[in-house]
Amino acid sequence: MLNNIGNRSLSQWISGEGPDSDIVFSSRIRLARNLEKYPFPNRASKEEKKAVITEVREAISSIEDYKLHYIEMADLPELERELLVEKHLISPVHAIDGPGKGVFIDDNENISIMVNEEDHIRLQVLTAGSQLKEAWNIANELDDKLEDKLDIAFSKKWGYLTACPTNLGTGLRVSVMVHLPALNLTNNIGRMLTAVSQLGLAVRGLYGEGSESIGHLYQISNQVTLGHSEKDIMENLGTVTQEVINQERKAREALQKDIKVIDNIKRSYGILKYAHQLSSDEAMRLLSNVKLGIDMGIIDYVDDKVLRELMILIRPAHIQKMHGKELAALERDIKRAELIQALLKS
């Protein structure tokens, strides 16, 4: 059995609770910014990237309201970088080994600032549940403080200048991670995703662009930043998110007495409780089913907070970190099953 189960470390946005948390797993605000006098990271030399890091570190060290700790990516083993990806504190691209990359993270792991990812600065704030405004207030304040100390690339015509043209303007990406199992089970997910896309929003998988949905989790975000104010972007995503929430809840109501769905939920709980090995994808699918059962009132003997935490803790890097070593795939599957059973009993 596990030795470190009491020492597991989770970001506050994962273990915390927020509005509409039965459907909205988390909310995120991300701002892209660049320093005026340096080339974008994909064109910058090692020396220029180091200079960017030095300037950003000096600026952040003078901000007293937030305790942000700097990590040099080159100093982190691959497993530690993957752990940050699984916590959504850095992007998969930022985890790829390379010189001149860094990240600032606060004690609660709600705030992260990637340095020299696609842009010089990628500032993001994560909150539990549907709390976009709360995340925006933090991100906006931090952004203002950084702009007071750094020469940020800005054009009166194009707004904030970014490495990718799709981020021009506000440089703002607003997103929510939503759990939509009932829309999947009622075969309405395709129609809903199409409707969301037609409203100018992007729907992506668990880790954003280029990733697939796992455990019925989707990220919905704005696609356009140029020509729209921060307020417009926030309100548009908020309105669409509320409609998605409404549609998912209607689908859950329609499934409330569906014997096949109830049977599938309880079978999923049984497998989680007794299986000797579970792959990451299978475990996510089963946990998704059980979470649906909790939210629909079908299962009342499992803590919803434990389910949300498990959806992060069962991922490969977390499993290996918990055991203090790299594990082969089969070993991870065995340890994953042990972890799930231990936490379901707690």
Q: Where are the domains of the chain?
A: 12-253, 257-345
- Dihedral of CA atoms 199, 203, 208, 210 in degrees, nearest 10, equals -110
Show pLDDT as tens, one digit a residue, over the chain (346 residues): 333 333 346 888 887 789 999 999 999 999 999 999 999 999 999 999 999 999 999 999 999 888 899 999 999 999 999 999 999 999 999 999 888 999 999 999 999 999 999 999 999 999 999 999 999 999 999 999 999 999 999 999 999 999 999 999 999 999 999 999 999 999 999 898 889 988 889 888 765 555 567 889 999 999 888 888 999 999 999 999 999 999 999 999 999 999 999 999 999 999 999 999 999 999 999 999 999 999 999 999 999 999 999 999 999 999 999 999 999 999 999 999 999 999 998 7
Distance of alpha carbon 273 from the chain centroid? 27
pTM value is 0.91
- Whether 23 contacts 292, CB under 8 Å: no
Residue 97 has phi, psi (to 5 degrees) of -60, 135
Q: What is the CATH number of domain 12-253?
A: 3.30.590.10
- Whether 159 contacts 169, CB under 8 Å: yes
What's the rounded Cα separation, in Å, for the pair 316 and 328? Answer: 10
What's the rounded Cα separation, in Å, for the pair 265 and 323? Answer: 30
